[in-house]
Structure 1
Amino acid sequence: MSLPRRLAFIDVESTGAHPVRDRITEIAILRVEDGVLVDRWESLVDPEAPIPPLIQQITGITDEMVAGAPRFEALADHVRSLLADCVFVAHNARFDFGFIKNAFSRLGQPFDAHVLCTVKLSRALFPEHHRHGLDALIERHGLQCGARHRAMGDTEALWQFVQMAQARFAPDALLRAAERAMKAPASPPGLPEGLLEAIPDVPGVYFLHAEPEAPPPGRSDRPLFIGRAASLRARVREHFAGNTRKGKDAELRERTRRVEWIETAGELGSLLLEAERVKRLRPPCNRAPEEGEDAFALRFIDNRRRPPIYERVPVAGTDPAAWADLHGVFRNRREVDNRLRELALLYRLCPRRLGLESGTTGACSAFQARRCAGVCARRETVAEHDARLRGGLASLGVKPWPWPGAVVVAERDPHSGCEAWHVFDQWCHLGSVDRREDLQAVDRGRRFDVDTWRLLGRWFGVPAHAAAVEPLAPAPS
């Protein structure tokens, strides 16, 4: 036989994509034996939790529809009998399998089966095509689907696809493809079945946790690691690839028991969210962010004969438009000293006058090495030295904001449909909204953050990114 004798085509609809946290709202099963459909069953399921509005919009299954439906525990025996001795067939099968396995697990019952994924089957049979989602299969092969995103409609489309494949391919070719489609992926230790398959192929930020369950509301839920990705699914899978035997990924693979994620509309949204969460949660496996809460700039002190000849001015949380005679933005003394050393070399400045070298009399070490013009040896006046210092400090100023006012960056992911509008002014992130009509509600107050400033400097340094901004309309009076 090119395919196993007993197949159970199955599709589940759910309250979300997480096989542990979310719940089943509908199940459909077609049991096929020796190529003949012998049983057809479907049922709504009470998830005992509200269905998010977006999920209701996608599936058409509402809270009212499932309110009187049986719970999974009432259906478990019948589901098990329909699946008994069958190969579990589904599209992105580990996702559906994970939901069924976890539903049985919550009842204290084990469940296992051989699994055949029709995504993998399509890839094996039609390698010339790049898209193998169910919508692509329906369009490419002319499959009939009476109700897309409803369990029975999707299940019937899969049964048609397999029938088409059996008619089109020789038994040995179909057998080889089925073997590839039934090959179980490496399952990371400690992660629930189907979790990696449930992660969407969209941009976003992910969180790797050591605790299998989220703590009660109000308690800290500090992750081991926070990352971002253009494809959440691909990036998280990289962490758990079989060749991660040493280093950070190996440690994460061993310690991770839960994965959470937040979808974003694009790369900029992921950058902003990752930076905010890493700074706030400080996960131990991320590179520790440098302290930036007390970010400061330098202000030159006129007519000061002895060091220090500049003062630190705190800038975190302030409005950059109100800054006057400030130079650079620094997180700590080390950053300041490194930049002043660079200026000393470029402009032949005295490290003693800059506060980089101790001593009060005699020439500095740089003068002896002919790298200082000699203010310390009375070879030039303090005014001459400080004029060059002022010129050097001017190069450290925050780059002028390129636009006359606040601007908007719009993002949209074509696969998920997720949209976002990010608002910026004077290198500050004023806020983000997921509806254009909410832009006017964004607080226009500017509060400087050094990490956001550096992030935006890199982002808007790309000409295509800078060209994509649009001005924010003035707030209504």
Structure 2
Amino acid sequence: MYAILDIETTGGQYNEEGITEIAIYKYDGHEVVDQFISLVNPEKPIQPFVVKLTGINNAMLRSAPKFYEVAKRIIEITEGCIIVAHNSQFDYRVLRTEFNRLGYNYERQSLCTVELSQKLLPEQKSHSLGKLVRALGIPMSDRHRATGDAMATVHLFKLLLSKDTTKEIVKSLIKTDQKKGIPPKLFDILEGIPAVTGLYYIYKENGDLIYIGKSRNIKKRLHQHFTATSGKSKRIQRDTYAVKYEETGSELIALLKECQEIKVNKPVYNRAQKKTVFPWSVYVEKNSEGYLCLSLQKTDGRKKEIISFSSATDGKNALHRIVEQYNLCKKINGLESPSKPSCFGLELNTCNGACVGNESVEEYNKRVQEFVDNNSFYNQSMIIIDRGRTVEERSAVLIEKGEYKGYAFYNLNYQITKPDILKNILIPMDNNRDAKNIIKSYIRKKKALKIVRL
């Protein structure tokens, strides 16, 4: 018995996605014998690019059931079934993650129709679901919606089963969850690591530093390294001889130290982070009509960026949110085609008409400048107060005239509100573009952060 499913999610960071829609068709090898289809309230916002892709928006999900309300039905309809999905690794992982949040260990065998089609249909140029079903003449509706994609997968799976007459290929690709054991050497290392916020340093037997990481829970993060099955994780597991850690309490200080120490030490398994951490930035430019435009570009060290991002996708999603928050025009900010006479927001009354000259340059630019002032700390001086390593301690990060100076820890009995006092206990750090962008990103995300403006 098979449970053929498709899941739509909010998008976002790995293992932090929320389910927005799920469709499951119970298939006995000949016909669908049961089905479950539902929108799901993920209790978190959907990324703008996902809204555009699926058509599912936050308003549609407000009255939808939350995952815990549909969890029992999902368990029942998939009981005794092999989970089948196109890229089952993603759908099954997301499903397991949701159950883990409820404290339930959800385990099923799984089968991926991408892998199955690659074995049985090697002549196909593409094995993506859309291109594959079109090439095979399989009808498809509601692309990028769970019900449409899941039903297309049912038809595809039926065809693949008919091609695998002995069912040997299907059997060989069925994956069974196995308890992830940790080798005794790594288990002993993990036993000595606490569940605290800070940095960890992984060393080879000859003393070479091979990896530097940061986490809000060092023990949990190392456990992930020691049990993951990716090529990089397996190499780390093979080479790890010792792990040292440094507790910071503050996630901001952990991020800043990680960035600096990777640049200095260049550990072999931190290749991706040796380069600029934030290669995309938002800049402010003035167009020919005098309106200030926000533009997402490759980071340019010769220009002053406002905020920066680790990927173009993150930057574009953030730009959509900024435009909405400050009631700006999407066309002026490059989020809609310049060939159109006006932006779509003008029809929805969410744009004041700057794109057609109906709003004065002064009024429009005032809101853009408000965004710039709130997100850029060029020439600004401040102390960022955050958690310390104990309940009696706090941390402080000093920014002076737009330059990151360093950090310190201090006891709650003392008040650190002046740079001269802070400098006496300050641990100096390098001031660079990545460090400043880490600080700006942290301030943007942590709304309740205490900041002393100087």
TM (norm. structure 1) is 0.45
